[in-house]
């Protein structure tokens, strides 16, 4: 299941890569919030630390911008320490 999540995440982040600018009337503006909810504690943390880091690097590569919009990233945790997953 983690492999599927990684594949989907890579596809989403790759879609943020710079492309030719659209016509001025079609430019994005405002803020686009990207949210992940990986298990950030427990056994999967090693993998999800890497994923969260990759997202941050990809956003930095495009200066947290796409078109005229600013990209933000919120890293949530869907695991609990007591359950370990």
Average pLDDT over residues 50-63: 94
Is residue 65's pLDDT more than 60?
yes
Q: Which residue do the tokens 């990207």 mark?
A: 34
Torsion of CA 38, 44, 45, 48, to 10 degrees: -50
Separation of alpha carbons 64 and 73, rounded Å = 9
pLDDT grade, residue 33 (50/70/90)? very high
Percent of the chain topping pLDDT 70: 62
Query: What is the structure's pLDDT at 25?
Result: 53
Cα–Cα distance, 53 to 79 (Å, whole number):
18
Predicted pLDDT at 26: 59
């Amino acid at each position: 299941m983690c492999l599927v999540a990684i594949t989907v995440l890579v596809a989403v982040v790759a879609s943020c890569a710079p492309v030719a600018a659209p016509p001025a009337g079609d430019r994005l503006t405002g803020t686009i919030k990207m949210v992940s909810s990986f298990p950030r504690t427990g056994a999967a943390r090693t993998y999800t630390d890497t994923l969260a880091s990759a997202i941050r690097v990809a956003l930095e590569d495009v200066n947290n911008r796409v078109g005229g919009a600013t990209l933000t990233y919120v890293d949530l945790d869907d695991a609990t320490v007591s359950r370990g997953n």
